[in-house]
Structure 1
Amino acid sequence: METNKSQKKRKWFMPLVFSVLFSSFLIFVSISVSSNSFSQLYRARVKNEVPHFVESKLKVSDTSSDSVPRIAYLISGSMGDGESLKRTLKALYHPRNQYAVHLDLEASADERLDLANFVRNEPLFSKLGNVRMVAKANLVTYRGPTMVTNTLHAAAILLKEGGDWDWFINLSASDYPLVTQDDMLHTFSSIPKNLNFIEHTSDIGWKEHQRARPVIIDPGLYSVHKSDVFWVSEKRSVPTQYKLFTGSAWMMLSRPFVEYCLWGWDNLPRIVLMYYANFLSSPEGYFHTVICNAEEFRNTTVNHDLHFISWDNPPKQHPHFLTADDYQRMVDSNAPFARKFGRNETVLDKIDTELLGRNADGYVPGKWFSEVNPNMTFPNHIIKNITQLKPGPGAERLKRLINGLLSAEDFQTNQCS
Structure 2
Amino acid sequence: MIYPKQLFFIFLALGMVILLNSILSQSQIKKALVFSQQISLLEEACQALAKTKKSFFWNHLPKTYSHSSNCKDFILKNNYITLPLSEEEAAFPLAYILTVHKEFETFERLFRAIYMPQNIYCVHVDEKASADFMQAVDSLVQCFPNTFLASKMEPVVYGGISRLQADLNCMKDLLASDVQWKYVINLCGQDFPLKTNREIIHHIKSFKGKNITPGVLPPAHAIPRTKYVHREDIVNSRVVRTRVLKPPPPHNITIYFGSAYVALTREFTRFILEDQRATNLLLWSKDTYSPDEHYWVTLNRIADFPGSVPDAKWEGDLRAIKWSDDKTHDGCHGHYVRDVCVYGTGDLQWLLKSPSMFGNKFELASYPPTVECLELRLRKRALDYAEISLQPHWAF
Instruction: Report if TM-score (shorter chain) is over 0.5.
Output: yes
Q: How does 1:162-177 map to 2 (within 5 A)?
A: 162-177=178-193
SS in structure 1 of the partner of residue 111 of structure 2: helix
Distance 1:333 1:314 in 2: 15
CA positional deviation for 1:282? 1.0
2:272 alignment partner in structure 1:
261
SS in structure 1 of the partner of residue 342 of structure 2: coil
Distance 1:251 1:178 in 2: 16
| Identical pairs, percent | 23
1:353 alignment partner in structure 2:
376
1:148 alignment partner in structure 2:
164
Q: How does 1:91-170 map to 2 (within 5 A)?
A: 91-120=113-142, 122=143, 125=144, 129-170=145-186
Q: Which amino acid is 2:351 matched to? A: M
User: Does the aligned pair in 1 maintain the 2:161–2:288 contact within 8 Å?
Assistant: yes
Give ranges in structure 2 of 5+ residues lacking alignment.
1-87, 329-337
Change beyond 3 A, Cα 1:144–1:102: same
Q: Deviations over 1:192-213 (max 9, x none)?
A: 2x211111101432221x2121
2:288 alignment partner in structure 1:
279
CA positional deviation for 1:181? 1.3
Correspondence for 2:259 among 248, 255, 260: 248
Q: Deviations over 1:164-223 (max 9, x none)?
A: 01100000111001122133235545652x211111101432221x21212111245xxx
User: Does the aligned pair in 1 maintain the 2:213–2:300 contact within 8 Å?
Assistant: no
Bigger Rg over Cα: 1
Change beyond 3 A, Cα 1:342–1:243: same
Q: Does residue 313 of the first structure (1) align with residue 313 of the second (2)? A: no
Give ranges in structure 1 of 5+ residues lacking alignment.
1-64, 359-363, 379-417
User: Does the aligned pair in 2 maintain the 1:307–1:335 contact within 8 Å?
Assistant: yes
1:70 alignment partner in structure 2:
93
User: Does the aligned pair in 1 maintain the 2:211–2:300 contact within 8 Å?
Assistant: no
Distance 1:174 1:219 in 2: 24
Change beyond 3 A, Cα 1:322–1:238: farther
2:12 alignment partner in structure 1:
none
Q: How does 1:82-97 map to 2 (within 5 A)?
A: 82-97=104-119
Q: How does 1:187-206 map to 2 (within 5 A)?
A: 187-189=203-205, 192=208, 194-206=209-221
SS in structure 2 of the partner of residue 299 of structure 1: coil
RMSD (Å) for aligned C-alpha atoms: 3.0
Change beyond 3 A, Cα 1:231–1:157: same
CA positional deviation for 1:307? 1.0
2:245 alignment partner in structure 1:
235
User: Does the aligned pair in 1 maintain the 2:106–2:363 contact within 8 Å?
Assistant: no
CA positional deviation for 1:250? 0.9
Q: Deviations over 1:96-147 (max 9, x none)?
A: 1110112111112232122111221x3xx1xxx2111225422111111111
Instruction: State the TM-score, normalized to the length of structure 1.
Output: 0.63
Instruction: State the TM-score, normalized to the length of structure 2.
Output: 0.66
Change beyond 3 A, Cα 1:258–1:227: same
Distance 1:106 1:366 in 2: 42
1:322 alignment partner in structure 2:
343
Q: Does residue 295 of the first structure (1) align with residue 316 of the second (2)? A: no
Distance 1:366 1:76 in 2: 31
User: Does the aligned pair in 2 maintain the 1:166–1:255 contact within 8 Å?
Assistant: yes
Distance 1:219 1:107 in 2: 16
Q: Deviations over 1:287-330 (max 9, x none)?
A: 11122135234337573251111112169973221222222222
Change beyond 3 A, Cα 1:66–1:268: farther
Correspondence for 1:217 among 231, 252, 256: 231
User: Does the aligned pair in 2 maintain the 1:212–1:238 contact within 8 Å?
Assistant: no
1:410 alignment partner in structure 2:
none
Q: Which amino acid is 1:308 matched to? A: A
CA positional deviation for 1:355? 3.5
1:184 alignment partner in structure 2:
200
Q: Deviations over 1:8-59 (max 9, x none)?
A: xxxxxxxxxxxxxxxxxxxxxxxxxxxxxxxxxxxxxxxxxxxxxxxxxxxx
2:9 alignment partner in structure 1:
none
User: Does the aligned pair in 2 maintain the 1:201–1:245 contact within 8 Å?
Assistant: yes
SS in structure 2 of the partner of residue 185 of structure 1: helix
SS in structure 1 of the partner of residue 300 of structure 2: helix
Change beyond 3 A, Cα 1:370–1:219: farther
